């Protein structure tokens, strides 16, 4: 008998969500939650061929649920009851269930999920579970897909917990990601394309002049949009990986220095060595120190799942002490979304070289925050291992 198995109830409709067939997506979600024994069944008599297991996860393909929600449900398990039934935010049952072996045998003869739920309610002890802030939504038909995709991509990439600057960028990135997910474009390709746009931004700044500055700012804004898109594509398709997370991290860090180098070169051509050059040197040194320290902390704390580092750290900072609120504020100074807005503003007012001084002050302040505060907070951050969702 398996310790835990999953029963994916196939969806007969040809609905795709984030580029994946609903049934294939449900299989990937179950495997991402650590379940190796996954069986796909039809809606008619779904439990007739259910595998023997101590715990059986029932996952209707029509229900879109983030892998973390299933991981939480499986980790919580059953405590005295025969079954746990997952409800959505409105309290409606979704059909997602966790059954004991005894409950599985009781519903094995039932003709469909609804009758299984009725029998469980009469013959078994059932607990209704709401999985906190996790995403779970049942699709009624294809008309629900567009809104659900947008909500899902926002939710699994930070949701309302992100700063205003990032949410503003996501207003552009999520519609684009929904289109990318329907094509055979990988998240790593999106990452490299975004870095290419950052290089274009640096080249425009190096050329100098007002309109070149505007072009550079727009290139950098577009680069930031793709920086959001790569994570949205990876998580939407359940294809996020450790390599992809490190690639994104490396290109993010390099983009800062590419843009700074372009600004300095453009200023040197126009004005020669001046106070902007000195400020750029301070900014570069402080930024290098931040990159080195944050990269080390990410490797130390989240080597098993580097893509979850920012989410885990953000969750820790939400606890709300004064120190945590200060650290959360300080983190915004080194986010690319903040820089994209700042660069665009400076370009519009025609004073791109002043970014070197702003950058220097911000980088030094951010370095103090990271070194004095974030290092201590990160000791409490815990990241779950990343389990690849195998192509099935």
At residue 330, the pLDDT reads: 64
**What proportion of the chain, given as a percentage, has pLDDT over 70?**
92
Query: What pTM, to 2 d.p., does this model score?
Result: 0.90
Chain centroid, CA 108 distance in Å: 37
Domains of the chain: 2-138 (3.90.550.30), 161-378 (1.20.120.1760)
CA atoms within 13 A on the CB side of 382: 2
At residue 132, the pLDDT reads: 75
- Pull the structure tokens for residue 150: 């947008």
Q: Are 133 and 215 in contact (CB under 8 A)?
A: no
Q: Are 174 and 232 in contact (CB under 8 A)?
A: yes
Residue 1, exposed/middle/buried by CB under 10 A (0-12, 13-18, 19+)?
A: exposed
CA atoms within 13 A on the CB side of 136: 29
At residue 271, the pLDDT reads: 85
- Pull the structure tokens for residue 164: 């205003």
Shortest CA distance to 32 belongs to which of 232, 183, 184, 234? 234
pLDDT for residue 391 is more than 50: no
At residue 210, the pLDDT reads: 95
List, in order, residues 6 or more apart from 216 with CB less than 8 Å away.
Answer: 200, 201, 202, 203, 204, 205, 259, 262, 343, 347, 352
pLDDT for residue 321 is more than 80: no
pLDDT-based confidence at residue 383 (cuts at 50, 70, 90): confident
Dihedral (Cα; 218, 221, 227, 232), 10-degree rounding: -110
The rounded distance, in Å, linking the Cα atoms of 282 and 316 is 31
pLDDT per residue as tens digits for the range 124-169:
999 999 877 899 999 988 999 999 999 999 999 988 778 889 999 9
At residue 79, the pLDDT reads: 87
Kindly report the average pLDDT of the chain as a whole number.
89
pLDDT-based confidence at residue 89 (cuts at 50, 70, 90): confident
pLDDT for residue 44 is more than 70: yes
pLDDT per residue as tens digits for the range 253-271:
999 999 999 999 999 988 8
At residue 333, the pLDDT reads: 63
- Pull the structure tokens for residue 234: 């990876």
At residue 17, the pLDDT reads: 96
Higher pLDDT, 136 or 320: 136
Burial 78-92 (b: 16+ CB within 10 A, else e): beeebbbbbebeeee
pLDDT for residue 378 is more than 90: no
CA atoms within 13 A on the CB side of 80: 1
When pLDDT is averaged across residues 42-69 and rounded to a whole number, the result is 93
The rounded distance, in Å, linking the Cα atoms of 203 and 185 is 26
Dihedral (Cα; 246, 251, 257, 261), 10-degree rounding: 160
- Pull the structure tokens for residue 332: 């915004």
3-state secondary structure string across the chain: CEEEEEEEECCCCCCEECCEEHHHHHHHHHHHCCCCCEEEECCCCCCCCCCCEEEEEEEECCEEECHHHHHHHHHHCCCCCCEEEEECCCCCEEEEEEEEHHHHHHHCCCCCHHHHHHHHHHHCCEEEEECCCCCEEECCCHHHHHHHHHHHHHHHCCHHHCCHHHHHHHHHHHHHHHHHCCCCCCHHHHHHHHHHHHHHHHHHHHHCCHHHHHHHHHHHHHHHHHHHHHHHHHHHCCCCCHHHHHHHHHHHHHHHHHHHHHHHHHHHHHHCCCHHHHHHHHHHHHHHHHHHHHHHHHHHHHCCCHHHHHHHHHHHHCCCCHHHHHHHHHHHHHCHHHHHHHHHHHHHCCCHHHHHHHHHHHHHHHHHHHHHHHHHHHCCCCCCCCCCCCCC
pLDDT per residue as tens digits for the range 326-359:
666 666 666 788 899 999 999 999 999 999 999 8
pLDDT for residue 220 is more than 70: yes
pLDDT for residue 102 is more than 80: yes
For 11, list phi and psi in degrees, rounded to 5. -100, 120
């Amino acid at each position: 008998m398996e310790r835990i198995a999953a029963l994916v109830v196939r969806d007969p409709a040809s609905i795709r969500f984030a580029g994946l067939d609903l049934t294939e997506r449900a299989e990937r979600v179950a495997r991402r939650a650590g379940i190796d024994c996954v069986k796909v069944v039809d809606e008619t008599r779904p439990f007739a061929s259910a595998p023997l297991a101590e715990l059986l996860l029932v996952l209707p393909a029509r229900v879109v649920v983030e892998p973390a929600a299933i991981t939480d449900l499986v980790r919580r398990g059953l405590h005295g009851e025969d079954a746990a039934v997952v409800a959505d935010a409105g309290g409606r049952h979704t059909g997602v269930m966790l059954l004991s072996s005894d409950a599985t045998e009781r519903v094995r003869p039932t003709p469909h999920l609804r009758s299984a739920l009725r029998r469980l309610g009469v013959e078994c002890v059932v607990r209704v579970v709401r999985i906190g802030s996790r995403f779970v939504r049942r699709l009624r038909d294809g008309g629900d897909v567009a809104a659900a995709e947008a909500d899902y991509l926002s939710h699994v990439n930070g949701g309302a917990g992100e700063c205003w600057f990032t949410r503003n960028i996501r207003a552009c990135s999520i519609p684009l990601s929904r289109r990318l997910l329907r094509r055979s474009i990988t998240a790593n390709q999106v990452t490299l394309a975004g870095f290419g746009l950052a290089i274009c931004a640096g080249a425009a700044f190096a050329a100098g002049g007002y309109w070149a500055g505007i072009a550079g700012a727009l290139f950098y804004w577009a680069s930031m949009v793709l920086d959001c898109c790569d994570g949205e594509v990876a998580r939407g398709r359940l294809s996020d990986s450790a390599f992809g997370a490190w690639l994104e991290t490396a290109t993010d860090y390099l983009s800062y220095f590419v843009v700074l180098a372009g600004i300095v070169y453009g200023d040197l051509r126009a004005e020669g060595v001046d106070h902007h050059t000195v400020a750029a040197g301070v900014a570069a040194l402080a930024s290098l120190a931040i990159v080195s320290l944050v990269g080390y902390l990410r490797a130390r704390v989240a080597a098993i799942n580097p893509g979850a580092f920012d989410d885990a750290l953000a969750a820790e900072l939400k606890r709300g002490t004064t120190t945590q609120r200060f650290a959360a504020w300080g983190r915004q100074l080194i986010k690319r979304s903040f820089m994209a807005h700042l660069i665009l503003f400076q370009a519009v007012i025609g004073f791109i070289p002043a970014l070197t001084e702003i950058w220097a002050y911000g980088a030094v302040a951010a370095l103090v925050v990271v070194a004095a505060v974030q290092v201590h907070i990160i000791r409490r951050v815990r990241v779950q291992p990343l389990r690849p969702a195998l192509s099935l």
